[in-house]
Amino acid sequence: MKYPVWRQQLVRSLHLHRSKPEAKYFQAASVDENMLPRLRTMVFRDFLEGTHSFLAITDSRSEKVEHWKRSPETELHWYFAKSREQYRFRCKVGLVQLPQNNLADISGVLNMSEQSAKDCLLNTWERLSDSAKKSFSAPSPKSKLNTELPEDIREYGIERKGSSNDTNAPEATKDKLVVSDYFTLVVFEPYASDYLDLKTRPHTRQISNLNESHWQAQSVNP
């Protein structure tokens, strides 16, 4: 697979900042129910194999999931302090969850088979730390402190999924790897990029667009 210019640059930026955990943090924007803009930090997990899509995870109870179900679009933002580079990516957003039995293409936006969505979700879960896995059994984000946990998520992992009377449970949830109902894989499929290099004088800026599976780059004024 040939890398577009932006990905060659991004790979280099990530490598340059590999000692900084925050280099894997990017910001993702959404539009809320009142059509107001929102944004937050997310953690870059990897590229989806064989594609240029960015992978991240979230809790299905978070507000951004509602936003992206309504409008599956985002702009991502990445700033690298040492090399003074800003990246912006406009992307379609795909949300992949186990419980819905609607593994691939929940938002109807991704060019991704059901099997590869499922594999990717399970692989990503498997690579999480225990404490990250446990966060999906915690109370709902932004809920009041000291609220009781709902009965069915008190235990770490979703034990009931593996119960013998649940014949519809996907095979993979019956073994040790119990994936939280709330675990959501987020696939950001980019279609436009905007790169700004602030260490050059004058600053340099390059915009790219995906046209029928080809990325076309153009240098523009900063």
Query: Least separation, in Å, of the C-beta of 145 and its own copies?
Result: 5
**Residues 196, 205: contact at Cβ < 8 Å?**
yes
140 contributes a contact to its own copies by CB under 8 A? yes
From the list 6, 13, 75, 190, which residue makes contact with its own copies (rule: CB under 8 A)? Answer: 75
User: CB-hemisphere CA count at 13 Å for 222?
Assistant: 13
From the list 56, 57, 73, 133, which residue makes contact with its own copies (rule: CB under 8 A)? Answer: 73
Site for its own copies in 39-68 (CB under 8 A): 39-41
From the list 100, 111, 216, 219, which residue makes contact with its own copies (rule: CB under 8 A)? Answer: 219
> Of the ranges 2-10, 46-54, 154-162, 212-220, which one interacts with its own copies (CB under 8 A)?
212-220
Write the Ramachandran bin of 140: left for phi over 0, alpha for psi from -120 to 50, otherwise beta: beta
Using alpha carbons only, how large is the chain's radius of gyration in Å? 19
Residue 128 CA to residue 58 CA, distance in Å, equals 12
Is residue 70 classed as helix, strand or coil in its secondary structure? helix
Query: Least separation, in Å, of the C-beta of 180 and its own copies?
Result: 15
- Secondary structure (DSSP) of 165-200: T-TTS-GGGSSS----TTEEEEEEEEEEEEEEESSS
From the list 8, 113, 143, 200, which residue makes contact with its own copies (rule: CB under 8 A)? Answer: 143
Site for its own copies in 8-37 (CB under 8 A): 20-22, 25, 27, 29-31, 35-37
> By rule CB under 8 A, what count of residues binds its own copies?
42
